[in-house]
Chain A
Amino acid sequence: MVAVVPTSAAAQPASVMAQRRGRTGYLLLFPGMAWLAVFFAIPFVTLFLTSLQKPIPGKPGKYTSGLQFSNYADALVEYWPQFLRSFVYAGIATLLALVIAYPLAYFIAFRAGRWRGLMLVLVIAPSFASFLLRTYAWKTILADEGVITSTLNSLHLLPDGRILNTGIAVVAGLTYNFLPFMILPLYAALERVDPRLIEAAGDLYASPQTAFRKVTWPLSMPGVVAGTLLTFIPAAGDYINAELLGSTKDRMIGNVIQTNFIEFRDYPTASALSIVLMAAILVLVFTYIRRAGTEDLV
């Protein structure tokens, strides 16, 4: 294209053009990279250094730079139950969200017709209210004297006789709060599936179930992977749901990090916990993406 357009720019040797184009690329990258450097790389490095600080003897709550790797071991020994609980709760919430979101996204993508836009707005609409308020609303929904709890109680389905301030409430809150992050990627993936492919599967004597299994589901995998990641990662680090809907027995790792930062002012332990959480999520995510076989999609 450069060669056929007789402008003055085109008169320059192609190598200069290529170089210039390269430079433009870097220039365009600059804001993003600078943002990452200032708001991710530098804080991450300082977070890491903080996690290695050692206490000053005789001055509780004061720390000095050091290479105290035992902070990590101590944090894990002390708080492994909360770590485990975070991943279990986030895992269950992600699974529930997938089960709820898939049919909904499928319906919006294939069956909603002219209501599609409205339904998408309805999916996002709750996010207009504050995350915190929505979680508070669940306290009312799940209240002991509320409809849900009384109904389940009359069926003797609740071991504790209540939902609020139990693990069930925390998982329900997580599922609800992160559901839109599951629905939207699923919808985006399903919307791109050509319905004619499903028809073709039918023409080739595939039952609807087989067509779903062989055509729709594999084609929606990018949405499934993106949705589960977008749900699982924030859910694992969340502490509002456990704080408001859980009891003392449902604390997650976010609660513990918060307690260390604010109540104990133990920045090293809080930093070590944050880094372990990041690392653990990274490992889980990589394993998951490998398994799902969609490296190129994420």
Chain B
Amino acid sequence: MSSKRPEAVAAIAGAMKSSVSRRRILQAAGLGGVAMVAAACGASGADDAEATGSPSAASAEDMSDTDKMLNWSNWPLYIDIDDESGTRPSLEEFQKQSGVTVTYTEDVNDNNEFYAKVRTQLEQGQDIGRDLVVLTDWMAALWLQNGFAQKLDKSLIPNSANLLPAWQGVSFDPNRDYTLPWQSGFGALGWNKAALQEAIGTDTMSSLDQLFNPALSGRVTVLSEMRDTMGILIAYQGNDPSNFTDDQFSQAIELLTQQVDSGQIRQVTGNDYAGALESGDVIAVIGWSGDMIQLGEDFGVALPETGGTLWTDNMLVPALAQHKKNAELVMNYYYDPAVAAEVAAYVQYISPVAGAKEAMAAIDPALVDNQWIFPNEETLSNSYVFMTLTPEQQDQYERSFQKAIGN
């Protein structure tokens, strides 16, 4: 999820030295478009939706062999980039090896926003002009439920055997027939060390009790991504974010509402919190591991003792994509441990590829034991993948979450 990566943001905010929520910008820019699409189609997608719901996605005639190209949509700054030339070395190498020309577009900025953009076409059974997209677990699950993803031909992706066990057997795609993970990351506690020291006399955090310490009143933010914030709160209350009841969710909403109403939680944001942490307006947050690491030494990051969240962004081939085989080739390429390590070393997110850790030794030995890139069992056992929600639950939970945060 892009709202987790601050560089694009820094690029936009430029000299202001404030991190911008890409998500919100895109929404700001995209809302007009969304409204327009909704209006122009009379949101007729909604009517046609009755016809969909079958899990088998339509496939188009595969042009891969004659048409050596691939349209790939990914989140911004989620792949290795050569800072000097601005090219993407691993992708360049793939193009050289395979002869496939890749149009790589960083236009997935927010799951909901991206879905809003292509939903009408998907529901009306049209090609969305993309052969490979990268979506977070729950959004990927939604696509699978609606039959918007094509089954992968694993014979073309022998390297998919390198998928680490932790990423196998997810509930929305038990055999990984439709999706392969791209990268993962954590929802965690983050803080400004100096400011925290001043406020509560320590520069480390390990518990949400500290986050809710009255000394930090009005200097705390949480994420607007429902799964990360609620997952961490549910775990804090001693329940299991991977398997909870409506009551337990309501209980966590109560806690959130209480902290919002009391003024303890100042704002609920996308990755805006990075800028607010830097300026000192905000001292402690529920944020994303990658953001916090990229902020540097003056800032701390830790999974709460009670547990953090673990999310994964998945590659999948949309229905009617015209270059499915090329998409499978690129997936296979990125599941080569050496290539996976190259990407992880740059983006500093978790690589789901077995062998990437060993390959990392050749690239940057210092990163081999980095728990945020190659978490060990202990770290992983302290993080939860948010429960897969039915569409009803999704609707109900998202509404009560948004209500709690003032929407």
B166 on the interface (CB 8 Å rule)?
no
Taking the nearest CB of chain A, how far is it from the CB of B33, in angstroms?
Answer: 11
Residues of chain B in range 238-272 having any CB-CB distance to chain A below 8 Å: 260, 263, 265-268, 272
Decide if the interface of chain B is mainly helix, strand, loop or mixed: helix
Is B407 within 8 A of A53, CB to CB?
Answer: no
Is there an interface contact between B407 and A259, defined as CB atoms closer than 8 Å? yes
Cβ–Cβ contact A50 & B391, under 8 A: no
Q: Given A43-B39, A65-B47, A262 and B280 touching (CB < 8 A)? A: no
Of the listed stretches A26-34, A134-142, A223-231, name the one at the interface; the rest are far from the partner chain. A134-142
Assess whether A243 is in contact with B24, with CB atoms less than 8 Å apart: yes
State whether the Cβ of A63 lies closer than 8 Å to any Cβ in chain B: yes
A247 touches B16 (CB 8 A): no
Given contacts A136-B16, A145-B281, A256-B407, A43 and B50 within 8 Å (CB-CB): no
Contacts of B35 in A (CB 8 A): 261, 274
Which of A2-10, A97-105, A209-217, A263-271 contacts the other chain?
A: A263-271
A242: nearest chain-B partner, CB-CB: B406
Q: For window 14-37 of chain B, which residues contact chain A by CB distance below 8 Å?
A: 14, 16-18, 20, 24-25, 27-28, 31, 34-36
Once the chains are docked, how many angstroms separate the CA of A252 from the CA of B77? 32
Q: How large is the interface on B (under 10, 10 to 19, 20 to 34, 35 or more residues)?
A: 35 or more
**CB-CB < 8 A to A49: which residues of B?**
42
| B230: min CB distance to chain A, Å | 14
Contact indicator A262/B407 (Cβ below 8 Å) = no
Complex Cα distance, B45 from A53, in Å, reads 12
Q: Which residues of A contact B116 (CB under 8 A)?
A: 261-262, 265
Q: Given B34, B42, B49, B275, which contacts A139 in the complex, CB threshold below 8 Å?
A: B275
Report if B43 contacts A (CB, 8 A).
yes
Evaluate contact between B402 and A259: CB separation under 8 angstroms.
Answer: yes
With contact pairs A133-B16, A165-B267, A247-B267 given, residues A144 and B280 touching in the complex (Cβ less than 8 Å) = yes
- B266 partner, pick from A56, A60, A247, A274, beta carbons under 8 A: A247
Whether B406 pairs with A262 at a CB distance below 8 angstroms is no
Query: What residues of A have a CB within 8 angstroms of the CB of B170 in the complex?
Result: none
- For B276, what are the chain A residues with a Cβ–Cβ distance below 8 Å? 139
Within 8 Å of chain B (Cβ to Cβ): is A75?
no
A251 → B minimal CB distance (Å): 4
- Which residues of B in the span 276-305 have a Cβ within 8 Å of any Cβ on A? 276, 279-281
Query: Does any Cβ of B come within 8 Å of A195's Cβ?
Result: no
Majority SS of interface residues in chain A?
A: helix
A144 CA to B31 CA, complexed, in Å: 31
Tell me the nearest residue of chain A to B17, going by C-beta. A140
CB distance from A248 to the nearest CB of B (A): 4
Partner pick for A249 among B34, B119, B406, CB 8 A cutoff: B406
**Chain B positions within 8 Å of A61 at CB level:** 391, 394-395
Contact A59 B267 (CB under 8 A): no
Q: Which of A142-179 contact B (CB under 8 A)?
A: 143-145, 160-162, 164-165
Q: Say yes or no: is A36 at the interface (Cβ < 8 Å to chain B).
A: no
Give 6 nearest A-B pairs by CB, closest first.
Answer: A248-B406, A43-B39, A60-B395, A259-B407, A46-B42, A63-B46
Q: Which A positions have Cβ atoms within 8 angstroms of B?
A: 42-44, 46-47, 49-50, 53, 56, 59-65, 132-133, 136-137, 139-140, 143-145, 160-162, 164-165, 240, 243-244, 246-251, 255-256, 258-259, 261-265, 267, 271, 274
Further 18 A-B residue pairs, CB within 8 A, beyond A133-B14, A144-B281: A43-B40, A49-B42, A50-B39, A59-B49, A59-B391, A64-B46, A132-B25, A136-B13, A140-B18, A144-B279, A160-B218, A162-B281, A240-B28, A247-B406, A255-B407, A256-B407, A258-B31, A262-B31
